Amino acid sequence: MKNKNILSVVLIVLLFVLVAFLTPDVPDGETPQFGWLSILPPLLAIALAFITKQVLLSLFLGVFIGSVMLNGGNIFYGFLRTLDNFVINSVADSWNAAILVFTLSIGGMIGVIGKMGGTKAIAEALAKKAKTVRSAQIVTWLMGIIVFFDDYANTLIVGPTMRPLTDKLKISREKLAYIVDSTAAPVTGMALISTWIGYEIGLIKDAYESLGIKANIYEVFVNTIPYRFYSIFALLLVFIIAFKLKDFGPMYKAEKRARLTGKVLADDAKPMASDEITKMELKEGIKLRASNAIVPILTLIIVAFIGLWYNGYTYSEGINWYDIRTCFGNADASVVLVWASIVASIVAIVMAISQKILSLGEALESWVDGSKSLLITCIILVLAWSLGSVTSSVGTADFLVKVVSDKLPSGLLPIIVFLISCVVAFATGTSWGTMAIVIPLALPLANSYILAGTGASNLLIATLSAVLTGSIFGDHCSPISDTTIMSSMASASDHIDHVKTQIPYSLTAAGIAILGYIIVGIFKLSPIVSLIVGAALLVGIVHFFGKSTAEEDLLLEANESAE
């Protein structure tokens, strides 16, 4: 390990020296063109995160090297600009600041709920319904689908709520994080009413208008859903794995460890939630009530739902109050989530005091302890946002798109666009940024095939869908994605362990999605055919390549190995 760390330091130093020499001088007022160098910031961050398991350092160095590139190879100015142009500006952004407040407030609410015994009570209540490993995983999956309106809210509600139960049943934190992550962005991105819909519809509207195409944009959005193969297959794969109790790859090892030893975390794991939440002790004699968790969580959901409607209606002109879809689409989700988390925190504190479980001072102390547990997550989020800003500035996504988007047969377009979106989203850690970059490039290309008579009538929808769902691949499993980070935090999982165990499943869903686009792109068949074929293949893959994680099967295997 010591030699590995020394080697990493030497390579990083050499890399910075190399960048300092190779970075071209950019005249004032001109946009820098870095070519292959543009992939260095995200590549360095991702590689170091896997090698060293030091996420903070890896993200910071990714931002740092990008800033050095933008400052003509000057390491001193690059360091200063890392702090002021990227880190500070990321915190100063109103959306990002609101998400930080929301995250800390959710942590505070969870802290109070935990101190009241609400988390333990709801876990025990769920345990009566979900008494097995299979049912617990399916219930977690269902909860992730039910909380459909926002991916951040999804991860921060489902993870902490289900964690006590999954721990009790010896389900690994890696598996919990995977289920939470797989029912966040994949669900929210397709939901008919969500915090994503306004952004997606806005991008579609701009692209269609630039092409001179008149269409009902919401209808276009709905039409893309059957073609969002990755999102659908990712959700389906979770259910199949949970129902069949089979896993493969690193996840199988994690589940085997948890089931046989009771260790829900690896020995060297560094969970992203601290002891303030994960090991909060209860007062003696407290009567456990599930309502002490359910009421604040329902308050969070209801206030968020009503707030999205109110915010979208109040701050947009010409919208009818009953047009809920449009109101949601135009709402500022970051502000609304702050409203919801603060109100839910107040409700939790009032409940604790009114039941004489906690004094006012104890309730506030519990709220602060809960917030403290998410401080590391907030730091990582800031660095992830900073890295996203750097990759945008050095033109990472633009370079990747240009490299692979030259002349293509029309039938291959959705496949190539899907792959481009996956790579860009994984490298940059942002699905929204990927959508904004790739949609304006991909849709005109698809439309040109249609106008020339060489593309199928559904090519535009298939290509658009490929961007929207390919973008979620990166948001779903990139180690520098905020949603992936928050899933690790909400599940109190080691972040890199979460990424390592999830990637094989994400790649499986992505591979089946590519087959889906072959069916609709090359063979020009209905997306329903792709969905049926894909579902059958997923069942087959899990059945034939997965290994049972039922405790009795693992014990039998262990005994046979011992003999």
Q: Report pLDDT digits (tens) over 220-260.
A: 888 999 999 999 999 999 999 999 999 999 999 999 999 99
**Nearest in space to 224 (alpha carbons), one of 25, 417, 425, 479:** 417
Specify the pLDDT at position 77: 87
Task: Please tell me the predicted confidence (pLDDT) of residue 229.
Answer: 97
Q: Which has the minimum average pLDDT: 133-142, 334-343, 397-406, 478-487?
A: 397-406
Helices (H) and strands (E) in the chain, counts: 29, 2
Give me the phi and psi of 247, to 5 degrees please.
Answer: -140, 165
DSSP helix/strand/coil, 494: strand
pTM of the model as a whole? 0.76
* Assigned token pair, 493: 């999982």
The confidence band for 57, taking pLDDT boundaries of 50, 70 and 90, is confident
Q: Is 372 exposed, middle or buried (0-12, 13-18, 19+ CB in 10 A)?
A: middle
Q: 246 phi and psi, to 5 degrees? A: -130, 145
Contacts of residue 376, Cβ cutoff 8 Å, sequence gap at least 6: 56, 272, 274, 489
Phi, psi angles (nearest 5°) of residue 337: -65, -35
> Looking at residues 509-532, what average pLDDT do you find?
94
Q: Supply the pLDDT for residue 395.
A: 80
pLDDT at 232: 97
Mean pLDDT for 400-429 is 78
- Residue 315 pLDDT more than 70? no
Q: Which residue has the higher pLDDT, 283 or 341?
A: 341
* Backbone conformation region of residue 453, classed left if phi is above 0, alpha if psi is from -120 to 50, else beta: left
Q: 341-356, pLDDT tens digit by residue? A: 899 999 999 999 999 9
Question: For residue 3, what pLDDT is reported?
Answer: 59
* Residue of higher predicted confidence among 341 and 174: 174
Q: What angle do CA 287, 292, 294 make, to 5 degrees?
A: 135
pLDDT band at 135 (very low <50, low <70, confident <90, very high): very high
Quick one: average pLDDT of 40-47? 80
Residue 547, classed as helix, strand or coil, is strand
